[in-house]
Structure 1
Amino acid sequence: MKTVSLGNTGIQVPVLAMGAASLGSIYHPVSQQQANETVSAALENGVNYFDVAPYYGLTKAEAALGKALQGVPRHQYTLATKVGRYGDSLWDFSREATLRSIDESLSRLGTDYIDVIQCHDIEYGDIPQLLDEALPVLRELKANGVVRNIGITGYQLDRLEQVACEQKVDTVMAYCTWTLQDRRLGNVARRLNQAGIGVLNASPLSMGLLTRGGAPQWHPAHQSVQQVCREVSALCDRKGVNISQVALQFALTTAAEHGIATTVIGTASAENMLDNVRWSDRPLDDELLAQIDALMAPVLNIGWDILPGNGGKAQK
């Protein structure tokens, strides 16, 4: 697996990273054995950057990932987790909550340091509290070696860019904004990259929007966006290819030119992980992409912050 530099962190990340949220059984039950097999498949194929959070499965994902990594030499993988979000509508960026969260994450993950600690979905939390309490305590912990790098995550790109540059964080992870349907992260990522900030693109399948099964019922994308994505999926099927494959290939093959270091895709299946690895090695079909672009044009870059749908974060 090809690796690239994650901003100025000194970390070499694989161009494909594993999101571990689903190890917390948030979509369907996942056994520890399944978690072990998925993590093992990732490591065997050079996917050694793992992103998780206390919020995912309400601590279950961290616990499952920690157990799956037992026995693996610590220097062989990079671990990213988060602070600040602890429920569907529960954010706490206070100093006390941040310290407690990191202690608990270290215990669940079975490690004594975290490579990348990220403030989770910052636009929905208390920004003054984030700036005055969470980030200062994270800097203290960085000075002590408990965390190695500090990042922020979220969906609203203007807020992410402003906070990242003003606070000089090490990484930014944005989700659902560098996909076949939404490509707004590109220009932002270039600017962040020029500032030495590592950029991670999460959810290249846009939380299920760009899959054969289509968006789940709770998805915040507008129905007009969902309909076009279903048409794109049908086009891919007629061409004999899975839309998920095309979506992942698009994200991977266009990342570098836009300053995106790695693409984080979630899975709790060794089989899916191996599919992702295999797809990452295949070239993108430019003719098919042109046809997809033509279909996608009416809804390109129409996120749920622009045209809200019926659920999810559109309601927050």
Structure 2
Amino acid sequence: MPGPDAIAMQASALRPIAGGRLALSALGLGTAALAGLYTPVSAHDAEETLAQAWEAGLRYFDTAPFYGYTRSERRVGAFLAERPRDAFVLGTKVGRLMRPDPGVAPLDDGWANPLPFRPVFDYSRDAILRSVEDSLQRLGLARIDMLLVHDIGRMTHGDRHDRHWEALTRGGGFRALEELRAEGRVAAIGLGVNESAVARDAMGEVHLDCTLLAGRHTLLEQGALGFLDQCAKAGTAIIVGGPFNSGLLAGQAKFDYADAPPSALSRAAALRAACAEFDVPLEAAALQFPLAHPAVAAVLCGMRSAEQVRQNVAWFERAIPTALWDALRERGLVDPQSPCPVGSAA
């Protein structure tokens, strides 16, 4: 069992971002899964998941028009509309407009039962303003707290990236975000992406309050460490999404939304074996590790049932001995320049 040097985290602990305009619970609820990512989730199960997250003290909720082709925003909004508005932080995203389309079919873009709306990429000023209004209607709320540009970057767009980047820059997309923040219609602006390079580029165009970075600073990989250090100096908060790397660190053979390559499987197995020596679930270490970096304000985890919420909160709050983090460093399983939770050797 963990020794006396173990230090426990609290999932409900509030951490300020955006100059104190917002405070995120250290563990946030990502709601793509509630919209039926790969597997359908009933309205009842979605409601119970949200209710359990609220009971556990989670007060940061992340959604997007793309999730379930608007299903996530509708479910999350219906739940949060019954809670005190100043008691939670809600983030959603822009970059796709959702157009009615009766041809939408099950498993389009991986959504088990998407609603009949087709996403169309558009990062221009007018599209961003339209997207915000559409989201407010679906959510049934008067304001959005955090507004993120969704999936900009070459990982998503390939050769089309330059055209979409021009919409954000010359086309006024970033300017629209700044105006929404200046007018108080949103408290924080940022990016929601799977790659750090485009977030670094964006920081040269506009002051980002935050970046939701999925899968790039986890127990499995720390390749974005230099970018996180830059964010810490600039006052740009990082929210780490995908702490399990698409499920690989939670016992699934998936990585970056695809079958995991042998190298990733081997590294995950080594991490799990090391954790087992200290009687620590790999999932607990994976959830807690990112928060050691000073730029990281919260870890965002997708959950699709009340039981998953209970389990993730238990992992997040499990005391982990310093000796585990030391061992991961000594075995080369963690970048030696990466901070580990309190008490780790330098």
**Please, what TM-score do these two structures have when normalized by structure 2?**
0.77
Q: Report the counterpart of residue 192 of structure 2 in structure 1.
A: 153
**Correspondence for 1:41:** 52
Match of 2:212 in 1: 173
Does residue 66 of structure 2 align to residue 51 of structure 1? no
Deviations 1:35-76 (A, max 9, x none): 221112222222101111111111111111112223111111
Is 1:243 the counterpart of 2:313? The answer is: no
Query: Which residue pairs with 1:191 in the alignment?
Result: 230
Offset at residue 33 of structure 1 (A) = 1.6
1:212 aligns with 2:242: no
The CA deviation at 1:260 is 0.8
Could you say what secondary structure the match of 2:258 adopts?
A: coil
- The answer for the alignment partner of 2:5 in structure 1 is none
Confirm or deny that 1:232 pairs with 2:271.
yes
| Alpha-carbon distance in structure 1 between the residues aligned to 2:263 and 2:18 | 36
Contact residue 113 and residue 147 of structure 1 kept, 8 A = yes
Match of 1:308 in 2: none
The amino acid of 1:19's aligned partner reads G
Q: Secondary structure at the match of 2:19?
A: coil
Q: Output the CA distance in 2 between the equivalents of 1:127 and 1:3.
A: 34
Q: CA deviation at 1:100?
A: 2.3
Q: Distance in 2 between matches of 1:293 and 1:46?
A: 32
Taking structure 1 as reference, are residues 85 and 229 closer, same or farther at Cα in structure 2, changes over 3 Å only? farther
1:129 aligns with 167
Equivalent residue, structure 1, for 2:103? none
Name the CA distance, whole Å, in 2 between partners of 1:180 and 1:163: 26
Measure, in 1, the Cα distance between the counterparts of 2:200 and 2:222: 15
Q: Which has the higher helix share?
A: 1
Per-residue displacement from partner, 1:16-44 (whole Å, max 9, x unpaired)?
A: 11111111011311112212211122222
Q: Partners in 2 of 1:133 and 1:221 — Cα distance?
A: 38
TM superposition shift of 1:142: 2.8
Shift of 1:180: 1.0
Q: Among residues 84, 94, 110, which one is paired with 2:95 in the alignment?
A: 84
The 2-side partners of 1:111 and 1:296 are apart by 47
User: Highest CA radius of gyration, 1 or 2?
Assistant: 2
Q: Which amino acid aligns with 1:96?
A: D
Conserved? CA contact 1:66–1:108, under 8 Å: yes
Asked if the contact 2:195/2:214 (under 8 Å) is kept, the reply is: no
Larger deviation, residues 98-107 vs 212-221: 212-221
**Distance apart, 1:237 and its partner CA:** 5.5
Shift of 1:291: 4.7
* CA deviation string 1:135-177 (max 9, x = no partner): 1122233333332221112222132123124311221111111
- Map of 1:114 onto structure 2: 144
> 1:98 offset after TM fit, Å?
1.7
How big is each residue's C-alpha offset from its partner over 1:59-114, in whole Å with a ceiling of 9 and x where there is no partner? 11111111222311111111100011468595321233222221111111111111
Letter in structure 2 aligned against 1:36: E
Aligned-residue RMSD, C-alpha: 2.6
DSSP 3-state at the match of 1:174: strand
Contact preservation (8 Å) 1:19, 1:50: yes
Give, in whole Å, the separation in 2 of the partners of 1:231 and 1:153.
30
- Structure 2 residue runs of 5 or longer lacking an equivalent are 1-11, 98-107, 110-118, 337-346
Q: How does 1:293-304 map to 2 (within 5 A)?
A: 297=333
Give the alignment's TM-score, normalised by structure 1: 0.84
* 2: CA distance, partners of 1:221 / 1:293: 23
Aligned residues: 297
Q: Secondary structure at the match of 2:145?
A: strand
Deviations 1:250-286 (A, max 9, x none): 234x24xx32111111112111112222222222234
- Partner Cα separation in structure 2 for residue 216 and residue 159 of structure 1: 21
